[in-house]
Amino acid sequence: MALGPALPVVVAVGGGLVSAAFYLSVMFGGMGALILGYLAPLPLFLTGLWLGTPAVVLAGLAGGASVFMGTSGSALVGLSYLVTGAAPAILVVRQSLLARLREDGNLEWYPPGRVLMGLTGLGVAALLAAVILTFDQPGGLEGMMRQTLARIFEPAFRMQGQEAPDPADFWVAAILPGLVAVSWLVMTIVNAVLAQGALMRFGRNRRPAMRLAELELPNWLAPLFAVSVLAATAAPGTAGFLAVNLALILAVPFAFAGLSVVHVVASRRSARTLILVGFYMMLFLFGWPILLLVGLGMIEQWIGLRRRFSPAAPGQEDE
């Protein structure tokens, strides 16, 4: 169905407004608001993966302006929306819609592994920027995280008549930036997958599905991840802090590579759906299978586990 010249603009601006509304809903509190906040990038992805990169840029700008006005001109909140919501959506949409014509006349789409690495690169860049911007603070970024956590939890301790804990006791501050980046990466990927799935359901997608079985990571990622893990255990001070958080971020691509192994193995079983549902339930309930996924991803990178199983028929593998 052809779109009128004004409709893409209306859809893009509308998508940005809906995204901003979701983003601002967290100010009202409650589980429902948190879910809406998590889904704030979804309208941006729906707009971009349907109408293209210019549309998602317009949607991101409209959303950023709406957040700015909705917070009484808070430049910090508006910038946060642009950095955490609009920028990754623009990157993913632009890269995902890149394609070139092969000699056989078919389109070759931008590989999903490179899209994932682009997002991972954004997470690494954000971590490095945060470390640099807080370098003049006592204790750097880690010290600021400890002080922030102490201020957040101090009222709760005082209400219970307990002495506020020392900032040094908040050990989670040492890995908090990495955990935040991982959560942001997963949030972005989930919203992109939901948007692509919805568009495919209604025949509005521009590119075919990105399949987990097609996920390929660059060869240099495994050595970099290994060095980060080693540095996290041996390097002191800021270097060790940076290394451990870098390792957390770099573990995300390997977790998805491991997930692709699980999908390929399950695709060769008659109870494929039951196996995947059970695995995802165990993953969300317990959390520790993430370590298994990272390990599987590392092994896949080294020896190619997926190639050792018979490939699924075209169109059978899930996104």
Q: Is the pLDDT of residue 73 over 90?
A: no
pLDDT (average), residues 115-133: 94
Q: Is the pLDDT of residue 300 over 70?
A: yes
Q: Is the pLDDT of residue 319 over 50?
A: no
Q: Give the separation between CA 195 and CA 51, rounded to whole angstroms.
A: 12
Mean pLDDT of the chain: 88
Of 169 and 258, the structure prediction assigns the larger pLDDT to 258
| Residue among 85, 312, 316, 89 nearest 196 (CA) | 89
Q: Give the separation between CA 109 and CA 96, rounded to whole angstroms.
A: 7
Distance in Å from the first CA to the final CA of the chain: 26
- Predicted confidence band of residue 115 (pLDDT cuts 50, 70, 90): very high
Residue 164 has what pLDDT? 65
Q: Give the separation between CA 210 and CA 116, rounded to whole angstroms.
A: 11
Q: Is the pLDDT of residue 165 over 80?
A: no
Contact between 74 and 82 (Cβ < 8 Å): no
With H, G, I as helix, E, B as strand and everything else as coil, classify residue 36: helix
Note the pLDDT tens digit of each residue in 10-19.
999 999 999 9
| Residue among 142, 123, 126 nearest 240 (CA) | 142
Of 3 and 137, the structure prediction assigns the larger pLDDT to 137
The four Cα atoms 120, 125, 127, 130 give a dihedral, to 10 degrees, of -160
pTM of the model: 0.88
Q: Give the separation between CA 117 and CA 111, rounded to whole angstroms.
A: 10
Q: Is the pLDDT of residue 158 over 80?
A: no
Note the pLDDT tens digit of each residue in 87-103.
999 999 999 999 998 88
Residue 4 has what pLDDT? 59
Q: Is the pLDDT of residue 29 over 90?
A: no
Residue 3 has what pLDDT? 58
Amino acid 298 reads M
Residue given tokens 């004004």 in the structure block: 6
